[in-house]
Amino acid sequence: MNIIVCVKRIPKTAEADIFIEKDNKDIKKDNLVFALNDWDGYAVREAVLLKEKFEGEVIVLTVGPDESKEVLTRCLAMGADRAIRIEEPIPNDGRLIAETLAKVIQTGPFDLILTGVQAEDDGWGQVGVALAQILGIPHASIVTHIHIEGGKAKVRRELEGGLEELLEIKLPAVLTIQTGINEPKYVSLAAILEAEDKETKEMTLEEIGFSPREPLDATIDQVSFPPTGKRAEILKGTPDEVVGQLTEIIKRKKGS
Amino acid sequence: MDFSLTSRQKLLKEAVREFMKGECDPVKTLELSKKKQFPWEIYRKAGQHGYLASYYPKELGGQGLPLLDYCLLMEEMIRYDHRIGMALSLGSIPAKTLLRFGNDEQKKKYLPRLTKGEAVASIAVTEPNHGSDIRFLDTRAERKGDEYILNGNKIFITNADISDFYTVFAQTNPDAPPYRGISGFIVEREQEGVTAIDLGDKIGLKTTSSCSIEFRDVKVHKRNLLGKENHGFTYIMEALNEGRAEIANEAVGLARGVYDRALFHTKTRVQFGQKIGKFQNISHMIVEMSEEIESAALLAYKAVWLIDQGKMDLATCLQAKVKCTLTAIDVSLKAMQIYAGYGLFEEQFISGYLGDALATWLLEGTGQIQRNTVASQILGKL
């Protein structure tokens, strides 16, 4: 089973102080730490687990500058077999990323494509779905479980309100992977050293025969912090009284 | 001059940080520290993932990493949780004399268990009457046929009550001039006549014990002699200098760890209606801590980088150790001021970092003695 996993290098913003660039189009990234998108990490791990069961090859694919090699090496250390990087600044347009990825994907055989549900930095959640559309193959999003059987995948999807949906989907297909689908595994030091010897192919847009159309479907007008909302409510009283008040609030919010 | 980390170094740091994040529950590590227990479970797991003594060559179970890469990894561990990180790094540092001067048979027998996280080692040099002054030792090793008979007492020996083996240094020639009559031996803890006793509660290094060891008529076969007879002092110095460069990096990890916590507190604690970081004295303390750490780290990295280049420089190793341990102490003291009352409680980690920082000043020779050596290098014969 040949699996392609599309990954992205993102700035970690969850615990960092965020500042906005002067032109209000992006955040300042100079002092941020970059890493593999969390959702993509689960997708790579899932691909490696499937490979352990069904054999084949796991290829990781990214669009991004030279620095993106680091996340590819990380994916190789997690068990991917080889990597491809398309040398291009990451465009602010999900469909354009999907079109670029599709150009490379179409050149070889594959059974399954995995992406993260979304990227931590832009949160669009578009690339996987757009990729399926461009390739003309089925897809399922927010996948929390995969079971492969006879050219089909039975997948569980996460829905709101604690619901799950079970789908049977014909392969090849694109699945966008939700965090928690598997148990992450630490990357061993030996695996990092071995990853350095695995193949990472680098290609330009010209080499893959792709010229992006202009103008893009989407452009970012402005990035800003949300306006400050109502201040938090501070509960007063003894610990027992506070617990009582808190329980009442939770009950109210839950609507029971 | 390229100061940037390599892609591999960044990945190693990221991987080890994830490991620490996954394994180190502050409540559990505090409990280990209170009970003075070595973190065996995490140590074994770290060994399985190749994080322990990863600069050892592959045939000894290591990963053949440059010492600098290993030190960056260790720094990251200690930065995340000193209680665990210090224990993990102190499991193998004491075996350096064996790594550098043991023969193949000795190394293959004893060292792979350290990299796998199955065992820890101790080095036994210090004695009740010989701390900084180890020109002569009171522990005697007397040759009888194919064996040496070991008698004497050692003190402040890290992990001696749980180690698999010790590298013990003893006087083999009582009549030799200073430094010339000492030899090194590999002695197993379970050997008859060996008694190791934990010395009690310390203010730092709480997840590793500090012990006294009594050797009473312990028979050591000559195949367990380290290198050549009476060359022990040179071995100690060579290995210790490398160890000191490592300790400098440990201290950088301590300083960074306590700084991270102080910075967080500065940005979240509110007094007089504002974040305490808005008070100039607090913000300047944070900046001073950062200045100290960045300059100390450069010296620590240089010391191990020189070792990797095969150009170990004694003065750089010693100065790195002095500078970095002083930095760790100073940064911890500033963090204590920033945390104020909260800093006194072990739950906040700060006092623990301070305790370990004070211990690094003493490990493998006090800073004062190291300054003596550097002084003689800089000033020459006056």
Count of domains for chain B? 3
| B373 and B238 assigned to the same domain | yes
Residues of A in contact with B48 (CB under 8 A): 188
Rounded average pLDDT over B130-153: 96
Residues of B in contact with A196 (CB under 8 A): 8
Last residue of a domain, one of B192, B215, B231: B231
Q: Which residues pair with A115 in a beta bridge?
A: A6, A176
Q: Please tell me the distance in Å from A74's CA to the nearest CA on chain B.
A: 7
B14 in reach of chain A (CB within 8 A): yes
Nearest CA in chain A to B7: A70
- Of B95, B61, B70, the closest CA to residue B16 belongs to B70
pLDDT bracket for residue A150 (50, 70, 90) = confident
| B188 and B320 assigned to the same domain | no
| B21 and B110 assigned to the same domain | yes
Report yes or no on A250 lying in a domain. no
Report yes or no on A169 lying in a domain. yes
Report yes or no on A91 lying in a domain. yes
* Integer Cα distance of B93 and B10 in angstroms: 23
Nearest CA in chain B to A69: B7
Contact A190 B50 (CB under 8 A): yes
pLDDT for A256 beyond 80: no
Question: HEC string of chain B?
Answer: CCCCCCHHHHHHHHHHHHHHHHHCCHHHHHHHHHCCCCCHHHHHHHHHCCCCCCCCCHHHCCCCCCHHHHHHHHHHHHHHCHHHHHHHHHCCHHHHHHHHHCCHHHHHHHCHHHHCCCCCEEEECCECCECCCCCCCCCEEEEECCEEEEEEEEEEEECCCCCCEEEEEEECCCCCCCCCCEEEEEEECCCCCEEEEECCCCCCCCCCCEEEEEEEEEEEEHHHEECCCCCHHHHHHHHHHHHHHHHHHHHHHHHHHHHHHHHHHHHHCEECCEEHHHCHHHHHHHHHHHHHHHHHHHHHHHHHHHHHCCCCCHHHHHHHHHHHHHHHHHHHHHHHHHHHHHHHCHHHCHHHHHHHHHHHHHCCCCHHHHHHHHHHHHHCCC
Interface ipTM > 0.95: no
Report yes or no on B2 lying in a domain. no
Instruction: Tell me the per-residue pLDDT of B360-378, one tens digit each, with 9 for 90 and over.
Output: 999 888 999 999 999 999 9
Selecting from A189, A193, A196 the residue whose C-beta is nearest the C-beta of B49 gives A189
Mean pLDDT of chain B: 95
Rounded average pLDDT over A72-94: 92
| Residues of chain B above pLDDT 90, percent | 94
pLDDT at res. A236:
87
Contact A192 B11 (CB under 8 A): yes
pLDDT at res. B321:
97
Report yes or no on A226 lying in a domain. no
Report yes or no on B67 lying in a domain. yes
Interface test with A, best of B6, B7, B74 (most A CBs within 10 A): B7
Report yes or no on B1 lying in a domain. no
| B210 and B278 assigned to the same domain | no
Instruction: Tell me the per-residue pLDDT of B33-47, one tens digit each, with 9 for 90 and over.
Output: 999 999 999 999 999
Last residue of a domain, one of B231, B265, B295: B231
Residues of B in contact with A71 (CB under 8 A): none
Catalytic residues of B: 364
Q: Which residue has the higher pLDDT, A214 or B186?
A: B186
Rounded average pLDDT over A83-87: 96
| B260 and B369 assigned to the same domain | yes
Nearest CA in chain B to A68: B7
| B263 and B200 assigned to the same domain | no
pLDDT for A215 beyond 80: no
* The pair of three-digit structure tokens given for residue A60, joined into one six-digit string: 């990781």
Selecting from A70, A186, A189 the residue whose C-beta is nearest the C-beta of B63 gives A189
Structural domain boundaries, residue B295: 234-379
Write the CA distances from B262 to B255, B339, B343, integer angstroms.
10, 7, 10
pTM of the entire structure?
0.90
A32 in reach of chain B (CB within 8 A): no
pLDDT for A54 beyond 70: yes
* Integer Cα distance of B176 and B181 in angstroms: 5
Report yes or no on B184 lying in a domain. yes
CB proximity under 8 Å: A 40-59 to B = none
Report yes or no on A75 lying in a domain. yes
| B107 and B23 assigned to the same domain | yes
Last residue of a domain, one of B179, B214, B231: B231
Selecting from A77, A184, A189 the residue whose C-beta is nearest the C-beta of B54 gives A189
B8 in reach of chain A (CB within 8 A): yes
Contact B7 A70 (CB under 8 A): yes
B7 in reach of chain A (CB within 8 A): yes
Nearest CA in chain B to A15: B264
CB proximity under 8 Å: B 60-119 to A = 63, 65, 73
Rounded average pLDDT over B13-25: 95
Contact B18 A186 (CB under 8 A): yes
pLDDT for A40 beyond 60: yes
Report yes or no on B219 lying in a domain. yes
Nearest CA in chain B to A35: B14
pLDDT at res. A245:
92
pLDDT for B329 beyond 60: yes
CATH number of the domain that A63 lies in?
Answer: 3.40.50.620
Of A187-201, A212-226, B143-157, B275-289, give the lowest mean pLDDT range.
A212-226
* Integer Cα distance of B249 and A91 in angstroms: 40
pLDDT bracket for residue A232 (50, 70, 90) = confident
pLDDT at res. B266:
97
| Residues of chain B above pLDDT 70, percent | 100
Report yes or no on A209 lying in a domain. no
pLDDT at res. A255:
65
Residues of B in contact with A184 (CB under 8 A): 18
CATH number of the domain that B206 lies in?
Answer: 2.40.110.10
| B133 and B217 assigned to the same domain | yes
Q: How many CB pairs under 8 A join A and B?
A: 45
**Concatenated DSSP letters of chain A:** -EEEEE--EEE--TTS---B-TTSSSB--TTPPEEE-HHHHHHHHHHHHHHHHH--EEEEEEEE-GGGHHHHHHHHHTT-SEEEEEESPPPS-HHHHHHHHHHHHTTS--SEEEEESS-TTT----HHHHHHHHHT--EEEEEEEEEEETTEEEEEEE-GGG-EEEEEEESSEEEEEPTTSS---PPPHHHHHHHTTS-EEEEETTTTT----SS-S-------PPPP-PPPPPP-S-HHHHHHHHHHHHHHHHT-
Instruction: Tell me the per-residue pLDDT of B222-245, one tens digit each, with 9 for 90 and over.
Output: 999 999 999 999 999 988 899 999
CATH number of the domain that B274 lies in?
Answer: 1.20.140.10
| B249 and B341 assigned to the same domain | yes
B59 in reach of chain A (CB within 8 A): no
Residues of B in contact with A73 (CB under 8 A): 7-8, 11
Structural domain boundaries, residue A156: 2-204
Nearest CA in chain B to A78: B15
Q: Please tell me the distance in Å from B240's CA to the nearest CA on chain A.
A: 26
| B251 and B360 assigned to the same domain | yes
Residues of A in contact with B7 (CB under 8 A): 69-70, 73
Report yes or no on B367 lying in a domain. yes
| B271 and B316 assigned to the same domain | yes
Selecting from A74, A184, A190 the residue whose C-beta is nearest the C-beta of B11 gives A74
Q: Please tell me the distance in Å from B317's CA to the nearest CA on chain A.
A: 26
Contact B19 A70 (CB under 8 A): no
pLDDT bracket for residue A29 (50, 70, 90) = very high
Instruction: Tell me the per-residue pLDDT of B80-95, one tens digit each, with 9 for 90 and over.
Output: 999 999 999 998 888 9
pLDDT at res. B263:
97
| B167 and B62 assigned to the same domain | no
Count of domains for chain A? 1
